[in-house]
């Protein structure tokens, strides 16, 4: 038995943003072959007995990660997925010129360091504008916003290099289109599957 744990924000907790209530963790454990036939046989259940412990929460910031480990009891083989940082950017770090991102880094590092699950897969923060400044919805100068997005993702990559593996959602989502999103920034049903697609080779390779 392998248990897949999800921590973080709506990149992993996006079920409420599609009519079928599907999120990436579900698809990684057991694909919906009717909806996504190309992924038939590409899930943890196909490799053996697997279960999901879904702890990610829509709207979470790095300070909320600690609440997601309450009652955590890990036995047997386990694998953790973490996506965090998007809400921290939206709540102020997108225009940070001080120590905000350094504080984010310290908090994320401490959380991952103490998490009693290995391996850990950390996803970067994607860009729902696909790098197009004309789609800027933040009211922040795009050059400033993109610089801080890059800084957050550099932090995530650096922490991943110490404790596990980075999954570059940012790079993957730049290859997509608007059908991958709903409510401007949230993964749609297609987006949930694309988050799954990005994590999948690492999940199957490490489970």
pLDDT in tens, 91-104: 999 999 889 999 99
Q: Give the total number of structural domains in the chain.
A: 1
SS3 assignment, position 166? strand
Of the candidates 138, 30, 54, 152, which has an alpha carbon nearest to the alpha carbon of residue 103? Answer: 152
Domain that holds residue 113: 2-206
Instruction: Give the bridge partners for 51, in sequence order.
Output: 3
Predicted pLDDT at 140: 86
Of the candidates 24, 5, 29, which has an alpha carbon nearest to the alpha carbon of residue 14? Answer: 24
Whether the pLDDT of residue 66 is over 90: the answer is yes
- On whether the CB atoms of residues 81 and 25 are closer than 8 A, the answer is yes
Predicted pLDDT at 40: 98
Residue pLDDT, tens place only, 172-183? 999 999 999 999
Q: What is the CATH number of the domain that holds 197?
A: 3.40.50.1110
What predicted TM-score, i.e. pTM, was given to this entire model? 0.97
- On whether the CB atoms of residues 56 and 68 are closer than 8 A, the answer is yes
Least confident of 37-51, 52-66, 138-152: 138-152
Residue spans of beta strands (DSSP E) within 9-157: 50-54, 77-83, 120-123
Residue pLDDT, tens place only, 149-179? 999 999 999 999 999 999 999 999 999 999 9
């Amino acid at each position: 038995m392998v248990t897949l744990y999800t921590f973080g924000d709506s990149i992993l907790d996006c079920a409420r943003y599609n009519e079928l209530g599907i999120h990436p963790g579900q698809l990684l454990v057991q694909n919906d072959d009717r909806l996504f036939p190309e992924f038939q046989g590409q899930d943890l259940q196909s490799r053996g007995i697997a279960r999901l412990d879904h702890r990610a929460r829509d709207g979470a910031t790095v300070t909320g990660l600690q609440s997601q480990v309450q009652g955590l009891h890990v036995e047997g083989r386990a694998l953790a997925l973490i996506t965090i940082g998007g809400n921290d950017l939206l709540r102020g770090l997108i225009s940070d010129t001080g120590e905000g991102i350094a504080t984010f880094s310290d908090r994320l590092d401490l959380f991952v360091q103490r998490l009693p699950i290995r391996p850990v897969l950390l996803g970067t923060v994607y860009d729902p504008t696909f790098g197009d400044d004309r789609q800027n919805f933040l009211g922040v100068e795009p050059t400033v916003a993109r610089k801080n997005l890059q800084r957050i993702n550099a932090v995530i990559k650096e922490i991943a290099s110490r404790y596990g593996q980075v999954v570059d959602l940012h790079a993957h989502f730049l290859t997509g289109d608007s059908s991958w999103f709903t409510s401007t920034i949230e993964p749609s049903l297609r987006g949930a599957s694309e988050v799954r697609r990005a994590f999948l080779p690492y999940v199957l390779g490490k489970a």
